[in-house]
Amino acid sequence: MEDKQTDNNENSRNSDVSDDKECVLSLQKSLTKLEGKSGKMPGWLQDSATPHTSRVATKGLQEHSSDFRHFHCPPKSPDMNIIEPIGVALQCAVQKTSPPPGNPMDLRTALQDSLSEKPPGYLQTLVDTMPRRVASILFARIGPRRY
pLDDT tens, 36-87?
455 555 566 566 666 667 777 777 777 777 766 666 666 656 566 777 788 8
pLDDT averaged over the chain? 69
Do 96 and 124 belong together in one domain? yes
Do 56 and 99 belong together in one domain? no
Q: Is residue 37 situated within a structural domain? A: no
Q: How confident is the model at residue 88 (pLDDT cuts 50, 70, 90)?
A: confident
Cβ–Cβ < 8 Å for 75, 47:
yes
Number of other residues whose CB lies within 10 A of the CB of residue 19: 15
Please name the residues in contact with 133: beta carbons below 8 A apart, sequence gap of 6 or more: 79, 80
Measure the CA–CA gap between 38 and 94, rounded to whole angstroms.
32
Do 132 and 97 belong together in one domain? yes
Task: Give residue 49's pLDDT.
Answer: 67
Task: Give residue 83's pLDDT.
Answer: 78
Domain hosting residue 59, numbered range: 45-75
H or E element that contains 136: helix 130-140
Do 82 and 69 belong together in one domain? no
Measure the CA–CA gap between 102 and 123, rounded to whole angstroms.
28
Task: Give residue 89's pLDDT.
Answer: 85
Do 133 and 81 belong together in one domain? yes
Q: How confident is the model at residue 141 (pLDDT cuts 50, 70, 90)?
A: low
Do 65 and 82 belong together in one domain? no
Residue 12 has pLDDT above 50, yes or no: no
Residue 147 has pLDDT above 80, yes or no: no
Number of domains into which the chain is organized:
2
Q: Is residue 29 situated within a structural domain? A: no
Do 59 and 95 belong together in one domain? no
Measure the CA–CA gap between 133 and 138, rounded to whole angstroms.
9
Q: Is residue 138 situated within a structural domain? A: yes
Q: How confident is the model at residue 9 (pLDDT cuts 50, 70, 90)?
A: very low
Do 69 and 81 belong together in one domain? no
Do 64 and 81 belong together in one domain? no
Residue 140 has pLDDT above 80, yes or no: no
Residue of 17, 22, 80, 18 whose CA lies nearest to 48: 80
Do 102 and 131 belong together in one domain? yes
Looking at the DSSP bridge assignments, the partners of residue 71 are 45
C-alpha gyration radius of the chain? 19
User: Is the pTM higher than 0.85?
Assistant: no
